[in-house]
Chains A and B, each alone.
Chain A
Amino acid sequence: MNETGHDFERKIIALRRELDDVRARSLDHDPAFKDDLKQQAQKLEKAIRDIHSKLNRWQRVLLARHPQRPYTMDYIRFMITDFVELHGDRLFADDKAIVGGLGKLAHRTVVIVGHQKGRSTKENLYRNFGMANPEGYRKALRLMRLAAKYKRPVVCLIDTPGAYPGIGAEERGQAEAIARNLFEMSRLPVPIIVVVIGEGASGGALGIGVGDRLLMMENTWYSVISPEGCASILWRSAEKKEQAAEALKLTPQDLMVQGLIDEIIPEPLGGAHFDHEEAASILKRTLERVLGELGGMPPQELLDKRIEKFSRMGLFQEPNAEKEETNVG
């Protein structure tokens, strides 16, 4: 089920199988063996963590794209109760690459929106590979306005290789749709939590990515462009994607260093694709906690802090005449 053809992935699959075996045996063995089995389990866990910690950035990108990873609808199924999907932007169409609706996260009603990829070719064609058209961003904005009207927090799940570059998308104002969302989301008077659950490529990701907290799942990436796109422009060959992935510094750890995200959410051992339910349960606990932190804040304070948060983003030099120092903003 988890075969992707990558060496590191095959090793992890084998190790996880052994780990499951050890655990199964430990259940029906007498206490004398239990310590041995526990030790062996720890050894295997360490081996998996070792492999993961040594993956290069391109391999991390491959993990983020793993076809068995949980997508927005999977997370919704495991985290949200009483979910009602809401369709359409009330202007042109219903974009299948962005889904959204109302549902309960624990005891709170939230509006949840996210990119939706497909697993099979047929599903992917239906979902347009998670690449939204303007109507996707406009649907997301419509639902966020609904959230603001009824004072419900918003959860955005990012997982896209980019906004769709097509004729229709340009005719209907892809640039305007994304820009409008950035503009409106920065002033939406309810808490917004943004989580990258897979791929976060460029404006197509950011179009539902402005909020009070930015979180990334452990095996995801987020950058200004995909490694392939970057390679084909700067190296003039998409084949240089591995070098581009390294150069872009696009892992959650990288973004943490750049001061752009607040938290990295751990995934089940080996990656979220090994256990959707566990991944969703970790995400749910995190969201509950963060919503609790933001819930008590008056709207004006929330907005002030949101603007402040994005205003701080950026690294540059500004020689100060008075204080002879480099101001890294």
Chain B
Amino acid sequence: MEWFKKVKTGLKAQEKRPIPDGVWVKCDTCGEIIYKKELIQNLWVCAKCGFHFRIKSGDYVRILLDDGTFDELHSNITAVDSLKFRDSKKYTDRVKDAMKKTGLSEAARTGIGKVDGKSIVLGILAFDFLGGSMGSVVGEKIARATEQALRDKIPLIVVSSSGGARMQEGALSLMQMAKTSARLAQLSEASVPYISVLTHPTTGGVAASFAMLGDIIIAEPGALIGFAGPRVIEQTIGQELPEGFQRSEFLLEHGFIDVIVNRRELKPIISTLLDHLT
């Protein structure tokens, strides 16, 4: 009866072959070797399995906004090492390194722009900048973006990807959760739409504040979304987590997000929603 058994396709059995840099990319999920140009054209979504590669903040600007309409704001706000925090490395050095690596001033970028001609305020968290963690700067920029949306009565869109609140700023980071949420409550009272887009991963203090407070909450497929990280949960309960736990599809099933949208559909869906709400 051997031939009745499901044959496991041996992904792991494959030998790791070095992929020439810059031309071909291997899909993290299905192992497909993809021509990079094709992948970029496909917005970094694997054509074979639909896996969404993590992309940079600038890519979301290009995907969501009309060409050349992004006017970035407050990019001169930078972090202060108010606690003189030092683990294996000084916090100030971590920030400097992140700036050098990403070319960004912080883990959040905000600005105004247009989606199919409609003005919006856009916020994007950059996971490549210290894990998209929220300290005073991220909190301030999201709060100011919300204020701007309220002042100009134009919708707010925030694309999240973050490990949570930034430990190196201690309680100051924690309070950014309250600060951003309070501003969003004002926006909500004024009936100005807020669309929250969750990408891989959105956890901790960011999930437990502005990311979960959208009038509409959209998630990219397969994104890890939750309060506690999977490792912490596993350690606490002493057992392995079920497959798909805390993924977008799991959250949809449990009623915590409105819709899962493929990256290629993100702009048209958001544009339609904006038409409905404004």
A residues adjacent to B (C-beta < 8 A): 163-167, 169-176, 178-180, 182-184, 186-187, 202-203, 205-207, 209-210, 222-225, 229-230, 233-235, 243-244, 247-250, 254-255, 258, 260, 306-307, 310-311, 313-319, 328-329
- Residues on the A chain within 8 Å of B136, using CB: 313-316, 329
- Among B66-82, those with CB < 8 Å from A are 74, 76-80, 82
Kindly state the interface size class of chain B when it binds its partner.
Answer: 35 or more
Interface pairs (14), CB distance under 8 Å? A165-B229, A167-B233, A170-B228, A180-B213, A203-B165, A210-B181, A223-B170, A224-B166, A224-B205, A248-B85, A310-B175, A311-B179, A314-B136, A315-B169
**Contact across chains for A225 and B241 when beta carbons are under 8 A apart:** no
Contacting A167 at CB < 8 Å: which of B169, B213, B237? B237
Q: B159 at interface (Cβ–Cβ under 8 A)?
A: no
**Contact across chains for A247 and B85 when beta carbons are under 8 A apart:** yes
- Among B194-221, those with CB < 8 Å from A are 203-205, 207-213
**Contact across chains for A203 and B205 when beta carbons are under 8 A apart:** yes
Q: Known contacts A165-B233, A187-B185; is A174 also within 8 Å of B228 by CB?
A: yes
Q: B182 at interface (Cβ–Cβ under 8 A)?
A: yes
Interface string of B50-80 (1 = CB under 8 A from A): 0000000000000000000000001011111
Q: Known contacts A224-B165, A224-B173, A250-B170; is A179 also within 8 Å of B210 by CB?
A: yes
- Residues on the A chain within 8 Å of B186, using CB: 187, 307
Minimum C-beta distance from A179 to chain B (A): 4
**Contact across chains for B172 and A313 when beta carbons are under 8 A apart:** yes
Minimum C-beta distance from B107 to chain A (A): 12
Number of A-B contacts (CB under 8 A): 206
Contacting B182 at CB < 8 Å: which of A170, A250, A306? A306
Q: B104 at interface (Cβ–Cβ under 8 A)?
A: no
**Contact across chains for B182 and A317 when beta carbons are under 8 A apart:** no
Minimum C-beta distance from A43 to chain B (A): 36
- Residues on the A chain within 8 Å of B228, using CB: 163, 165-166, 169-170, 174
- Residues on the B chain within 8 Å of A233, using CB: 167
**Contact across chains for B208 and A258 when beta carbons are under 8 A apart:** no
**Contact across chains for A258 and B171 when beta carbons are under 8 A apart:** yes
**Contact across chains for B177 and A206 when beta carbons are under 8 A apart:** yes
- Residues on the A chain within 8 Å of B205, using CB: 202-203, 224
Minimum C-beta distance from B148 to chain A (A): 14
- Residues on the A chain within 8 Å of B236, using CB: 164-166
Determine the distance from Cα of A202 to Cα of B177 in the docked complex, in whole angstroms.
10
Q: Known contacts A170-B227, A179-B213; is A311 also within 8 Å of B143 by CB?
A: yes
Determine the distance from Cα of A133 to Cα of B77 in the docked complex, in whole angstroms.
36
- Residues on the A chain within 8 Å of B140, using CB: 314, 316, 329
Closest to B206 in A: A175
- Residues on the B chain within 8 Å of A223, using CB: 170-171, 174
